[in-house]
Structure 1
Amino acid sequence: MTENKTSKAQIKANRRWEKNNPERAKYIRNRSVARTFVRHWANEEDIEELLEIYKKENPNAGI
């Protein structure tokens, strides 16, 4: 059986941080999923659609 590279204490600390910071953890997780999709699976049509959604619906687009 292979062992984790991360110590049990670090795993416990990470879980505690995620529990205490659920919104930030959700943001980081969703950002990671979006980046992975764009890098590995999105085609040009997907990118164009995502940019349109960003420009029309995202309140941060004007910043």
Structure 2
Amino acid sequence: MPVLALVSAVCVLAFEQIAQWRYGTTGIIGLLLLALGVKARSPSLSSAGAVVLALLVARPAL
């Protein structure tokens, strides 16, 4: 079981680093809102995080 926790923690950290590199601070904020909303079972908080991430992904490339 500790190995599974370690692997999942590494995956989460890797995903956060990719989001930070690709989408900047706003991406991390959106990911944080989404994760906190899921953990707290708050649909409005997780929806806000999902909207932030969707807007970042859908924006036109410069």
Q: Which interval holds the TM-score relative to the shorter structure?
A: 0.3 to 0.5
Structure 1-normalised TM-score?
Answer: 0.36
- Choose 1 or 2 for highest CA Rg: 1
The one of the two structures with greater contact order (alpha-carbon pairs below 8 A, sep at least 6) is 2
* Superposition TM-score, scaled by structure 2 size: 0.37
Which protein has the bigger helix share? 2
